[in-house]
Structure 1
Amino acid sequence: MKTLKYKITLLLVLVMSSLLLAACGDSAPTKEAFPSPSTNAKASEIPVGTPGPVPGTVVKFPEDEAPHNVMTEWWYYTGRLKTADGQQYGVEFVIFQGLRANFPAAYASHFSITDVQSGAFKYDQRISISDSFKAGGTEGFNLKVTAPQKADWTMQGVSGKDNLKAAMDDGSYAIDLTVNDTTGIALHGGGQFSYGPAGASYYYSRPRMSVSGTISVGGTAKQIASGQIWFDKQWGNFLPLAGGWDWFSTQLNDGSEMMFYNLRDKNNSLIQVFGTYVPPCNGACTPNQPRKIYDLETSDLTIKANGEWVSSVTGVKWPSGWTISVKEKPGIPAMTLNYKPVIQNQELDTRKTTAVVYWEGDTDISGTKDGKPIAGSGYVELTGYDIGTTNK
């Protein structure tokens, strides 16, 4: 049994790391491998409840909420919770799905909690396989990642009404959440873009989902009073060959949102910056209708790290705190935003499941928009900083 368990674990690590560790390839990619995503001009015109494809669009709802028969896919939730007793928690919950010919579907999952009050950051990770993979359909997704003698970690949802359950093995934290899309969908790059030789990706977000349910702390369930979750869904036959990336989600208190990321080669040279600005709904948005969006390109954004933090566990030196400048252009206001982690240590060592070390954490946002003060919250993800420096 131990030999079988070892072989299964090895298979999963190999499959999942091939999805995610391609970011750490031996050769630096050329700029041509990451062309700027081409915008789908019809992306914001999909009528509510449309059952099939609309001319000029590439993503269908609810069909594309379900799993796909592709190489790489993930369902990714990050956000901030506030409990009835006035406490604040950051949460990340993700399931990665990997498919390879002649192998069953492989799943890896990460679950983390940022406990602002205690200054603690805890995470757990799992891998599992499934012989019951089923792609497509109109019933959304129903995912689970199992572990022996432990409750399943699950994600279920359709039409922007999702349920999330996960519990850390040591009993420190658990979630049982219902999240509902309150504003609609952002189709990044119009919903699909190319990585050139590395493949093509579909990518959409539900940038502002309301939260109810409970978070358990040390075995005691606490009711969620308020909160907001950012959901990302990405899938396709792609393996991005970058050295790493910095990804930012942004939920501003005027109702607008923004996503952007940069890609770097193994020498930390910038390859690409891309993002999406989503203006406020102003009462005109519904959960399954794509929002009006504006593309952010390399020349529109300046991303500057303000400090650093060195992990005592892995030895990795991470940037910590950023100033983001956004140039004004049609549809996009000028912004200067400061992103400050609520605590510095939000590092995940997931070498047991996806073979990477990354930093992903809850972040306070302040600054100016159109010259006026603005605030908000978001999540930042950093990868690739462990190359050549990680403690074994």
Structure 2
Amino acid sequence: PADEAPHDAPIEWWYFNAHFTSEEQERYALHDVVFRIREPTSGVAGHVRHIGLSSATGYVHDELFAVAAPVATAPGDFEIAVGDTLMAGVGGESYTLRAEAGGYAYDLTLRATTDPLLHQGGLVDFDYAGVTYYYTRPRLALSGTLTLPGGSTTSVTGMAWLDKQWGDFQPVAVEWDWASIQLDDGTDLMLSSLYERRGPLIERYATLRKAGEPARTLHADEFSFTPGEPVWRSPVTETAYRTHWNVEVPEEGLSLLLRPLEEESEYRSETIGVTYWEAGVDVLDPSGEVVGQGFVELNWARGRER
């Protein structure tokens, strides 16, 4: 759990996504990430927090920035306050997410229920774009409260996912398609395709763990992660995002469709100058039955069509 805490790296992030349901059976999908970016000359680190929340009424988001050192009370713990928000973790076992966005406010507690996943042994080499240490805590039991824009508060429960990365990786130098999948049978799957900016594929890899079994790395010839036909074109950036994705892992008998809960989910960062599409998804089998949940993230060059 020591790697939960901040590192002396040019870039680092704590990324959470979650699906949760209120007492009234209203469904929500959240992505909440803190980027820690170290200025190379001074060594001072800035922290940027991105929040995106989708519901039956649409998509809201917010961005916050602070130059502050995270507080760690013990090795492996972290506590990051950006503005009035809090993101904290204790021992790789429990986490707190507290923030506001678009009139909503949430106070969530997450607890690990499985061991972490190491991707490519824990260190991923992206060639000219650098390297990143990378692991996931794929099943976090979620509970807490959500305050609605009208002021009422409801209890929520669900499941979350944590990605932790740090290194000299340069996100602005590349594009990627990425997905996290939590199947109802306990299978966890991460998929990633990395491209040169407006260019060809650099790397495609995945990590799969079935319930009760060891994790395994999937190489590019062992799976497919391809876009479907539906396209949502951003009216702001003109980027034509593919919103539905197909996943095939023949050896495991997996054939899945990732269908977004909200198509209009482009996140435009004013602080760090990146734009990406991020949406919670239902995971469907070939019969159309929902067999899991997940998230898709597309970091594409502005105006990109693929």
TM-score, reference length from structure 1: 0.72
Q: What SS does the corresponding residue of 1:98 show, helix, strand or coil?
A: strand
Q: Which residues of 2 match residues 232-381 of structure 1 at below 5 A?
A: 232-239=163-170, 242-281=173-212, 292-306=214-228, 307-328=230-251, 333-350=252-269, 352-367=270-285, 375-381=291-297
Output the amino acid matched with 1:193.
V
8 Å Cα contact 1:66/1:137 also seen in 2: no
1:78-114 Cα distance to aligned partner (Å, 9 max, x none): 0101011100000011000011231421111101110
Residue 145 of structure 1 is matched in structure 2 by: 82
Distance 1:195 1:313 in 2: 30
- Offset at residue 202 of structure 1 (A): 1.0
| Aligned equivalents of 2:88, 2:196: Cα separation in 1 | 36
Q: CA RMSD in A?
A: 2.2
For 1:313 and 1:246, locate their aligned partners in 2 and report how far apart those are by CA, in whole Å.
20
- Whole-angstrom distance in 1 between the partners of 2:73 and 2:205: 29
The alignment-based identity, stated in percent, is 31
**1:107 aligned onto 2:47:** yes
Once the 2 structures are TM-superposed, how far is the Cα of residue 221 of structure 1 from its aligned partner? 1.5
> How many Å apart are 1:305 and its aligned residue?
1.4
Aligned residue for 1:190, secondary structure, equals: strand
Pairwise CA distance, 1:372: 12
Distance between the aligned counterparts of 1:217 and 1:245, measured in 2? 33
User: Which structure has greater strand proportion?
Assistant: 2
Describe how 1:50-65 pairs up with structure 2 within 5 A: 61=1, 63-65=2-4
Partners of 1:324 and 1:342 lie apart in 2 by: 17
Query: Quick check: 2:96–2:108 contact (8 Å CA) kept in 1?
Result: yes
Distance 1:378 1:388 in 2: 24
Higher RCO (Cα < 8 Å, 6 or more apart): 1
Q: Could you say which residue in structure 1 is the equivalent of 2:65?
A: 127
List structure 1 segments (4+ residues) > 6 angstroms apart after TM superposition: 371-374
Which shifted more, 73-82 or 211-220?
211-220
Residue in structure 2 matched with residue 182 of structure 1 by the alignment: 113
Distance in 1 (CA, whole Å) between partners of 2:162 and 2:198 is 30
2 CA distance for matches of 1:139 and 1:272?
A: 30
C-alpha contact 2:175 2:198 (8 A) present in aligned 1: no
1:68 and 2:24 correspond: no
Deviation at 1:314, TM superposition (A): 3.0
Written as runs of structure 1 = structure 2, the 5 A alignment for 1:376-387 is 376-387=292-303
Letter paired with 2:211 = P
**Is 1:214–2:136 an aligned residue pair?**
no
Q: Secondary structure at the match of 1:360?
A: strand
Letter in 1 for 2:37: G
Higher percent of residues as helix: 1
The one-letter amino acid paired with 2:169 is F
Query: What runs of 5+ residues in structure 2 fail to find an aligned partner?
Result: none
Q: Assess, with a 3 A threshold, how the Cα gap between structure 1 residues 105 and 134 changes in structure 2: closer, same or farther.
A: farther
Greater mean deviation of Cα atoms: 380-389 or 226-235: 380-389
Q: Is the 8 A contact 1:161 1:179 kept in 2?
A: yes
Residue 155 (1) aligns with residue 76 (2): no
* Paired position in structure 2 for 1:285: none
Counterpart CA distance in 1 for 2:246 and 2:86 is: 36
Q: Partner amino acid for 1:141?
A: F
Secondary structure at the aligned position of 2:164 is classed as: strand
Q: Deviations over 1:247-269 (max 9, x none)?
A: 00000000010001101123342
Q: How far apart are residue 231 of structure 1 and its match?
A: 0.5
- SS at the partner of 1:64? helix
Q: CA deviation at 1:140?
A: 0.8
Tell me how far apart the structure 1 counterparts of residues 171 and 73 of structure 2 sit (CA, whole Å).
24
CA deviations on 1:298-336 (whole Å, 9 max, x unpaired) are 1112222112111223322111101111131xxxx1211
Counterpart AA for 1:166: A
Q: Give the equivalent residue in structure 2 for 1:93.
A: 32
In structure 2, what is the Cα distance between the partners aligned to 1:198 and 1:356? 16
Aligned to 1:57: none
Distance change (3 Å), C-alpha of 1:356 and 1:387: farther
- The alignment of Structure 1 onto Structure 2 pairs a total of residues equal to 301
Residue-by-residue CA offset, 1:201-228 (whole Å, 9 max, x unaligned): 211101010111111210321101x311
Distance in 1, matches of 2:182 and 2:162, equals 12
* Cα pair distance change 1:246/1:310, threshold 3 Å: same
